[in-house]
Amino acid sequence: MSTKIQPPKGTRDFYPADMAVQNHIFSAWRRVCARFGFQEYEGPGFEHLELYTGKSGDEIVGQLYNFKDKGDRDLALRPEMTPTLARLANQLGRDLRKPARWFSLPRLWRYEKQQRGRLREFFQLNMDILGSDSVEADAELVAAACAICEELGLKAGDVVVRISSRRLVSTLLDELGCTDKPPVYLALDRREKLPREEFEAGLRGSGLGDDGIRRLDALFSATSLESVKGIVDSAPALAALAELETLFSLLAAHGVADWVRFDPTVVRGLAYYTGVVYEVFDAGRSLRAIAGGGRYDDLLQKLGGERLPAVGFGMGDVVIAELLREKGLLPSGIPGPDLWLVSLDGDGRKLATLAARLRAGGRQMGFSFGGGKVGKQMQAAQENGAKRAVFVGSDRVAPHQVEVKDLATGEQKTVSVEALCT
Ligand code: HAM
C-alpha cells in the first residue's frame, strides 16, 4: 500500500478556503500600498549565495536553503527581500527615481525550526523607501504598518509598534569600546529567549565587561525617552534620541500615537540596520512578531552600490493571519460565483448557450455537468458558494425567461434572460 506524500515540513497547502484568507490579507496589503503611493516590484526566488553571506547577519545565513545548481553555482532561496531590493536599486544606479517607494509580496524560505508563527515557507509584504535620509520616511512606514493593521480590522490596543533606535544602542556600544557589534545585536535581540548566563557570555565574548552589561541593562529597562537621557551621554547617542523624539511627534501627526510605543529592548537581529528600528506585536504578546523593520543606510553600499539611505519593513502572512483568526476578523468559507445554472431538462447545450451569454455579460457563474437530479444540482450550488440558482429548461415560464432563486432567502422570481445578462 502506498502512503500519501505529505507537503515538506514547514510548508503549507492552500486549499480554496485558505486562498480566500490569503487573498483577504494580500488585497488589504495592496490597498494600503496604493494609498501610500508605493509601486510594486519583484525579483527572482533564488539568488547568488553571496548576496546574503556577511550582509544579513549570522542568524539568517544559518537558516538559508542553499544549494549548488548543475553549473556548480552557489545559490540560495531568498530568505528575505531586502538584499534583492538593494541589488535591484544598485543595478539602476543613478536611473533610480528617488525617493523610490516600492513594495513587494515575495514568497520566502528560511530553514527555521517549525513553531507557532514561524514556517519554512511564507509570504512577506515588504514596503521600503530608498533615497531618503529624513525621519519623515521612517514615520511614513510606521504609519503604513499601522494602516495595514487597521485595514484588516484591528484596533489600536490590539497591536503595538515597539520602536527604538539601533543607532542608540550602537553609540552606547561605542562608548563601551565594543568593536564587533553584530553578535551583540543578535544576542540582545534573542535576550528573552536565552538563559541569562548564555546571554551574558555572548556579550562578554564581544568584549563587554560588567560595566557594559550594567549600562545595557539600564538602557533596556528605560521606560521613556526622557529616562534614557541619564543613561547615555555622548553627542551621537543624544542625536539618536532627538531623532526618536521627532519620529514620535510625526507619528502623532499621522494619527497613530495610540499604536506606537518607545521600547528600548527592540534592536532587531539582522545586521544591516543603522537607525530607527521597530517590531509590531500583538498587545498580549502571545504571538511572535507580526512585522519588523527599520533604517538600513549602508546596505546598498555594502552590496557594491553608491551610498543610498533606505528604510523599510517586512510583515509576514503567518502571524497576522493567526491574530486575525483569534479576533474573528477573517472571512469564512470560499467566495462563490453569483449564479449557478440548474438544468430541469438535462439539456447541456441550453446550459452552455446561456452560460456563454451570461459570461459575456461579465456574470460569474457555474453549473453541474451532465444534468442529473435537481436536488443534487442545488446541493452543488450551495457547496460552490453560489448566491442564486437559475433554473433552465422550465416549461412554466415563457421563452427567454428563467426562474431565479435567492439561495440565502429562498425567494424565487421570474426574470428575463436579457435582464440576467446585463
Ligand atoms: P524579519 O524580522 O526577519 O525582517 O521578518 C519580518 C517579518 O516576517 C516577521 O516579523 C514575521 O512576521 C515574518 N517572518 C519572518 N520569518 C518568518 C518565518 N520563518 N515564518 C513566518 N513568518 C516569518 C526582515 O525580513 C527584513 N528584511 C524586513 C525589512 C524590509 N527590513 C527592511 N525592509
| pLDDT at residue number 57 | 64
CB under 8 A, 24+ apart: contacts of 105-108: 105/26, 105/29, 105/30, 105/40, 106/42, 106/43, 106/45, 106/78, 106/81, 107/45, 108/77, 108/78, 108/79, 108/80, 108/81
Say if ligand 1 is within 6 A of residue 291 CB. Answer: yes
| pLDDT at residue number 193 | 85
Q: Give the pLDDT of the chain (422 residues) as one tens digit per residue.
A: 578 999 999 999 999 999 999 999 999 999 999 999 999 999 999 999 999 986 666 677 889 999 999 999 999 999 999 999 999 999 999 999 999 999 999 999 999 988 899 999 999 999 999 999 999 999 999 999 999 999 999 999 999 999 999 999 999 898 888 878 888 888 888 888 889 898 888 888 888 889 889 988 888 889 899 999 888 888 999 999 999 999 999 999 999 999 999 999 998 888 899 999 999 999 999 999 999 999 999 999 999 999 999 999 999 999 999 999 999 999 887 889 999 999 999 999 999 999 999 999 999 999 999 989 999 999 999 999 999 999 999 888 888 899 999 999 999 999 999 999 87
- Write the CB contacts of 128 (distance below 8 Å, at least 6 apart in sequence): 82, 85, 100, 101, 102, 103, 141, 310, 311, 312, 313
| pLDDT at residue number 60 | 77
Say if ligand 1 is within 6 A of residue 161 CB. Answer: no
Say if ligand 1 is within 6 A of residue 56 CB. Answer: no
Say if ligand 1 is within 6 A of residue 293 CB. Answer: yes
Q: In whole angstroms, what is the distance from residue 364 CA to residue 385 CA?
A: 12
* C-alpha separations of 143 from 31, 35, 80, 278 in Å: 14, 12, 22, 12
| pLDDT at residue number 368 | 95
CA 410 / ligand 1 centre spacing (Å)? 47
Say if ligand 1 is within 6 A of residue 281 CB. Answer: no
Element (H or E) spanning 31, and its range? helix 16-35
CA 284 / ligand 1 centre spacing (Å)? 20
In this structure, the number of other CB atoms found within 10 A of the CB of residue 70 comes to 5
Say if ligand 1 is within 6 A of residue 292 CB. Answer: yes
Q: What is the spatial order of strands in the sheet that 339-343 belongs to? A: 365-367, 339-343, 388-392, 401-406, 412-416
| pLDDT at residue number 205 | 86
Question: For residue 98, what is the DSSP state?
Answer: S
Say if ligand 1 is within 6 A of residue 57 CB. Answer: no
Q: Which residue has the cell 432563486?
A: 405
Counting atoms of ligand 1 from 1, which one is nearest the CA of 120?
A: 19
CA 112 / ligand 1 centre spacing (Å)? 12
